[in-house]
């Protein structure tokens, strides 16, 4: 599943990179200007008819006005960040286990067939909690203290697996607004260049550069906010699973103590 989403991310990256490369070819600027004019004409037609402008048409217009280069990079951040976030959400969803039922099954297996039967129950159950129990059962003959230390150590391993990829999502949360601010700076430079070339400060001269500056900033902030929501949701899920792991591990140790006392 992770490879599938990473494939989608790479495909999106290649597509938008191709768009950036084609925009740098000769004649790309007139073509982009023509697209902007067509989009503006379409907006004018909708405005004149009293109808609302379709969302996809408005987004396309703003994407072109913001500049294909920076807007493509911002959208690439969104695509890869969302792919990583969805992969984490699915991983955490499959990691959720009914720990109460699992503990009951393990305890019943210990009474019925001993350690080997309990191992079988853990092998047939998915999720990090079952994996932790299995590691503890592997060292059941070494005493409860060793089992407890093993559970703590392997619990840290499972936490690292659950947090895998979060640093990359955080990176795209930081990069997206940074790209927007970079577009803002470049737009301001273009505006001042236009003022210098025209030798006059007028709204028409400044408007083009300022529009690019504002659109790229808005795009970067929107992407960062979307990814931040998913990032916080993933963190909340990890916290919930970690609490569940700690609670179930304590109860598992109590179960092992009872089992050793009965022997």
For 114-129, what is each residue's pLDDT tens digit? 888 888 999 888 889 9
pTM summary value: 0.72
DSSP structure string for 211-225: HHHHHHHHHHHHHHH
> Look-up: residue for tokens 């768009």?
19
Look at residue 230 in the predicted model and tell me its pLDDT.
Answer: 96
Residues with Cβ within 8 Å of residue 111, at least 6 apart in sequence: none
Look at residue 79 in the predicted model and tell me its pLDDT.
Answer: 93
Tens of pLDDT, residue by residue over 2-58, are 444 444 544 454 444 444 434 433 343 343 344 444 444 444 434 444 456 665 566
Look at residue 22 in the predicted model and tell me its pLDDT.
Answer: 42
Q: What are phi and psi of 24, to 5 degrees?
A: -90, -10
pLDDT at 70 over 60: yes
Residue of 207 and 148 predicted with greater confidence: 148
Residue 206 · residue 194 · CB < 8 Å: yes
Residue 144 · residue 253 · CB < 8 Å: yes
How far apart are alpha carbons 57 and 121 in whole angstroms? 55
Instruction: Place 203 in a pLDDT band, splitting at 50, 70 and 90.
Output: low
């Amino acid at each position: 599943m992770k490879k599938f989403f990473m494939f989608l991310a790479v495909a999106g990256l290649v597509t938008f990179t191709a768009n950036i490369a084609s925009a740098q070819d000769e004649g790309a600027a007139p073509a982009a200007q023509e697209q902007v004019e067509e989009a503006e004409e379409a907006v004018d037609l909708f405005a004149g008819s009293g109808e609302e402008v379709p969302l996809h048409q408005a987004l396309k217009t703003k994407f072109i006005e913001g500049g294909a280069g920076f807007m493509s990079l911002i959208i690439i951040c969104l695509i890869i960040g969302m792919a990583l976030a969805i992969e984490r959400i699915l991983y955490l969803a499959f990691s959720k286990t009914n720990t109460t039922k699992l503990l009951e099954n393990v305890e019943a297996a210990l009474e019925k067939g001993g350690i080997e039967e309990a191992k079988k129950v853990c092998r047939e159950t998915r999720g990090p909690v079952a994996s932790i129990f299995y590691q503890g059962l592997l060292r059941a003959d070494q005493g409860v203290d060793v089992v407890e230390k093993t559970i703590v150590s392997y619990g840290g391993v499972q936490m690292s697996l659950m947090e895998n990829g979060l640093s990359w999502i955080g990176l795209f949360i930081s990069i997206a607004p940074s790209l927007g601010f970079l577009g803002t700076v470049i737009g301001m430079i273009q505006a001042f260049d236009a003022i210098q070339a025209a030798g006059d400060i007028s709204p028409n001269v400044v408007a083009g550069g300022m529009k690019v500056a504002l659109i790229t900033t808005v795009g970067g902030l929107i992407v960062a906010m979307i990814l931040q929501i998913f990032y916080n949701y993933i963190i909340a899920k990890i916290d919930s699973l970690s609490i569940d792991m700690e609670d179930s591990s304590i109860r598992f140790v109590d179960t092992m103590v009872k089992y050793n006392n009965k022997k």
